[in-house]
Structure 1
Amino acid sequence: MNRHLVGLLLGTEEDWPRAFETILRRTGPVRAGGGEEHAFDVERITIEPFDLRDRPRYDLVIDRLAYWYYVPREWLKKIALMDDVYLLNSPFTFQSMEKHAAYCAMMRLGLKVPDTVLVPFKNPPDNAKWAYTASRYNQPFDLEAVAERIGYPLFMKPYDGGAWVGVTRINDRDDLHAAYDASGQRLMHLQKAVDGYDVFARSLSIGPETMVMKFRPELPMHDRYEVAHGFLTPDVGEEVVTISRLVNAFFRWEFNSCENLVAGGEVHPIDYANACPDVALTSLHYYFPWAMTALVRWTMFTMVAGRTPRLDLDMAAYFAIADRDDLSYGDKLAGYRRLADDYFETERYLDFCASRLSHLDEVVLEWVDSADFDTLLVETVRATYPAAEHDRFVAHFRGLVRLWVTDTKAALQPGQPA
C-alpha cells in the first residue's frame, strides 16, 4: 500500500482544518488505475529550525501561513527546490500575490482590468539613501491630475493589500487627499471604479474546480456570500470561471479566490491574488462543504495520480496567445482555458473523481448532517463572536448548513443530477 502524508501549515484557523482532517480520514483509501491502494494521513506542521539537507516527511503541503511568516516560507522553498514536495500554493510567486504583478500580467493577457496607476509613497521610506535619490530622480507629480485622468469614482488600494485593508472609495478631490495622507508609507494603486456594476462575483478555485458565488461586500462578513443560483448568464459565468482558472494556472496557484465585477455583460477582474483565500465556516456557510470536498479531492488526486510540481512559469505560452492580433477576446480566453486545463489535468481529474471518489459526496453529506459537524459549528461560532451573539449566529449558520444538506440530499437522489 502507498501511504501519503499531507501537511497543514496553519496560522489561527481551526474550523476548516478540522473539517479537512475529518473528511480525508473518513474517505479512506482509494485505488489508482493500476489497482494499487493509496492511504492518506494528515498532520499539522510545527515551526522549528531545519537543516537544508533534511528530507521532509510530507508528500503535499497546504500552506496558509507563509504569506506573512518568513520562516515557513523559506522551508517551503527548500522542500520545493530540493525534495519535490507538492505545494498549494507556489512559494515563488508571492510577489505576484502583492496584486501589482498580477494586474500587469492579466492586462498583458487582455483582461478587462480597470485602469490602474501606481502612485509614489505619501511619506518617504525609512532609508538613508532616500533624500539623495529623491532629490536627483523623483519627478514631482499632480495627484489630482492623475485621479482626474482616471476619472471619479475610483478606489485607492494598497498594491500589496488583503482583506480589504486600506481600500478607500474616492468620490472627489477631498476623498483623494484624505486617503493619500492616511496611506503613509504604503505604496498605493489608484484604480477606476466599475460604477453601477450588476453583480459582484467572487469565485473560489481549488485545483480545476471553481465555485462562483454572489458577493455583497457592503454587508458584514457572515452575510456577504449570498446563497444564489443562476445569477450570471451561462456565457458570463463561463468567462468568470475561465479567468479564475487562468490566473491560477499562470502563477501556479491552486487554492485561490478571484473577484470580478460584471457590468453590462462585461467581466472586470479587480482582485485575483489571494495567498490565503477565505474558507472560514462563518464566511462560506452554505458553500463550506463544497470547499472542503474540493480540497480533499484535489489533494488526493495529486498524490494518487503522481502529479509532479511545476515550478517553472510558462508565461510565454500565454503571451503568445495574447499578442496575436488575429484572435478575438473570446478566442484568447478559449486558448487560455486550454492551457489552464492542461496545467490542472482537468480531464484526468474529473475521471479520477468519477471512478475513484464517487463515494465522497455521500461521506461529506453524512458528516455535515451529523452531531459531530454541529459541534464544530457551535465551537467555531463561540470562538468568533461575542457571547451575547452566540445563539443568534448558531441559529443563522445552522439554517444555512441545513439548506445545503437539503439541497444536496435532493441532488443525490436517484435520477437527479449530482
Structure 2
Amino acid sequence: MRHLIGLLLGTEEDWPSAFETVLRRLGPIKGVGEFDVERVTIEPFDLRAEPRHALVIDRLAYWYYHPREWLKKISMMDDVYLLNSPFTFQSMEKHAAYCAMMRLGLKVPETVLVPYKNPPDNARYAYTAARYNQPFDLDEVAERIGYPLFMKPYDGGAWRGVSLVRDKDELHRAYDASGEMLMHLQQAIQGYDAFARSLSIGAETMVMRFRPEEPMHARYAVDHGFLSPAAGEEVVTIGRLVNAFFRWEFNSCETLIKGAGVHPIDYANACPDVALTSLHYYFPWAIKTLVKWCVFCVATRRRPRIDLETHDYFAVTGTYEERLAEYRKLADRYFETERYDEFCQTHLGHLDDVVLEWVAGPEFDRLLVDTVKTTYPENEHDQFVEHFRGLLRLWVKDQG
C-alpha cells in the first residue's frame, strides 16, 4: 500500500527537502506499506473531490485563506490527518490561548488587551465608537500591570511589533507606533533564570535553551542541563497541554523560569521554527520526529479530532501540581503516547541509523551549504558553513 503525505508550504526549502529525503530513505514498513511525499499546489477544488493524501503538513494556511479552506474540507469531509487543526487557527493569535491557559491555572503573566490606537478601516466604526467605545487611561492600565512590561500584538508572529516598555514615555511611543495592530500589555518577568523554547511534534518535545538577544543563528544554545529535572518536566507538560487542548501537533512554546515558577509567555505558533540555520544541532531531531509522527498517524489510521473536549480540562481541580499531573494524563491520552512509543520501537527502530548516516554524509552537507547560500550574504558563506558544520558534527558525535 502507498501512503501519500502532502506538504503545504510557503517560502521554506531546507526542512521540506530534509523531510522528503528522510521519508524516502526510510523505505517500506512491514505491515504498513510505502510512504511518498509531494508538495501541494493551490488550485480550484471541488468540495466533493476525494483527496489523494493521507496526511498534510501545513505551513501556509495561517495567512493564506484558500488553502485553509481546503484543509477544513479534507479534514471534515475526508478524514485526512492534519498536524494542526485549521478550526483553531484563531487561537493561534495568542489571545484565546492566553485565556484558556489562565483558566487552567498556568502562571501566565498579567495581561490586558487594549483597543486599537488607530481605528480599523470600516465605515461603521465612527458611529460605533462614538456610541459605545469607552475612553480609557493607558497610563493607569500600565501602572496597574507594573513596569517593565511588554506591548505585543494579540496575533503575534516572528516578534512583529513587540516592544519592551520601561516607562510612560516608551509606553506612548509604542502605542502610537502600533497603528491598526490590536495590542496586549503583558507583565514582564524580571530577573528570570532561564528562557526555554520547547518544540513539540506529536508525542515528543525538545526543550532548548533560547537566547532572544542573540542573532538567529545563535539563539538556540546547545545546553542539555540548563533546567532542573522538575522544571524541565513542567515545561514539557505545559507544551503538551497546550497542544492537546487546541489539537496542535506541530507547535513551539516559550516559557520563562524564575525560581520555582514556570511562566508560559508564548505558546501558539502556527509555523514553528524548524529552519536548519536556526535549529542547527537540533535540526536532525526535528526532521526525524516529524517523520516518525507522520508515519505513526497514517499507519495507525489516527483520525482528526474537531471536538476540543475542553470540558475535560476545565473539570480538573486540585493544587497546581495535581492539576498539572492530570493535564499530562489528558495530553498523553490525546497523543496516544504509549501506543506511539511502542509503534516506533516496533516499526521505526532503524530510523536513528538512517538519519545519522544521512546527516554525516555528503547529501546533507550539500543541503547545509545551499541553505547558507540562500540565507546569508556571499561574504559570510564560509563563516556560516563552518559554523553550522561544527554544530552538526557535534550532533553526529553525540549520537555515535
CA displacement, residues 174-222 of structure 1 (integer Å, 9 cap, x when unaligned): 1000000000011000000001100000000000100000000000000
- Candidates 337, 341, 346, aligned match of 1:350: 341
Alignment of 1:131-142 (within 5 A): 131-142=126-137
Task: Name the structure 1 match of 2:77.
Answer: 82
Q: How far is 1:131 from its partner?
A: 1.1
Matched, 1:278 2:277: no
SS at match of 2:315: helix
Alignment of 1:98-177 (within 5 A): 98-177=93-172
Total equivalences in the alignment: 400
Whole-angstrom distance in 1 between the partners of 2:303 and 2:123? 45
Alignment of 1:365-380 (within 5 A): 365-380=356-371
Amino acid at match of 1:15: D
Amino acid at match of 2:33: H
Matched, 1:226 2:225: no
SS at match of 1:95: helix
Whole-angstrom distance in 2 between the partners of 1:204 and 1:213? 8
Matched, 1:360 2:359: no
Whole-angstrom distance in 2 between the partners of 1:307 and 1:160? 30
| Structure 1 residue runs without a partner (length 5+) | 410-418
SS at match of 2:6: strand
Whole-angstrom distance in 2 between the partners of 1:28 and 1:152? 56
Q: How far is 1:37 from its partner?
A: 3.6
Whole-angstrom distance in 2 between the partners of 1:309 and 1:25? 25
Task: Name the structure 2 match of 1:3.
Answer: 2
Amino acid at match of 1:13: E
Task: Name the structure 2 match of 1:263.
Answer: 258
Whole-angstrom distance in 2 between the partners of 1:341 and 1:29? 28
Please, what TM-score do these two structures have when normalized by structure 2? 0.99
Amino acid at match of 1:259: E
Whole-angstrom distance in 2 between the partners of 1:67 and 1:352? 31
Whole-angstrom distance in 2 between the partners of 1:69 and 1:150? 35
Matched, 1:333 2:324: yes
Amino acid at match of 1:127: N
Whole-angstrom distance in 2 between the partners of 1:359 and 1:43? 23
Task: Name the structure 2 match of 1:416.
Answer: none
Task: Name the structure 1 match of 2:51.
Answer: 56
Whole-angstrom distance in 1 between the partners of 2:343 and 2:127? 60
Matched, 1:402 2:387: no
Task: Name the structure 2 match of 1:13.
Answer: 12
Whole-angstrom distance in 2 between the partners of 1:379 and 1:242? 37
Whole-angstrom distance in 1 between the partners of 2:25 and 2:131? 65
Q: How far is 1:346 from its partner?
A: 0.1
CA displacement, residues 43-68 of structure 1 (integer Å, 9 cap, x when unaligned): 00000011111111000000000011
SS at match of 2:5: strand
Whole-angstrom distance in 2 between the partners of 1:224 and 1:98? 23
Q: How far is 1:307 from its partner?
A: 1.0
Task: Name the structure 2 match of 1:413.
Answer: none
When structure 1 is superposed on structure 2, of 239-248 and 123-132 the one drifting more is 123-132
SS at match of 1:178: helix
Q: How far is 1:399 from its partner?
A: 0.4
Q: How far is 1:393 from its partner?
A: 0.4
Please, what TM-score do these two structures have when normalized by structure 1? 0.95
Alignment of 1:157-236 (within 5 A): 157-236=152-231
Whole-angstrom distance in 2 between the partners of 1:18 and 1:141? 51
Amino acid at match of 1:109: L
Amino acid at match of 2:211: R
| Structure 2 residue runs without a partner (length 5+) | none
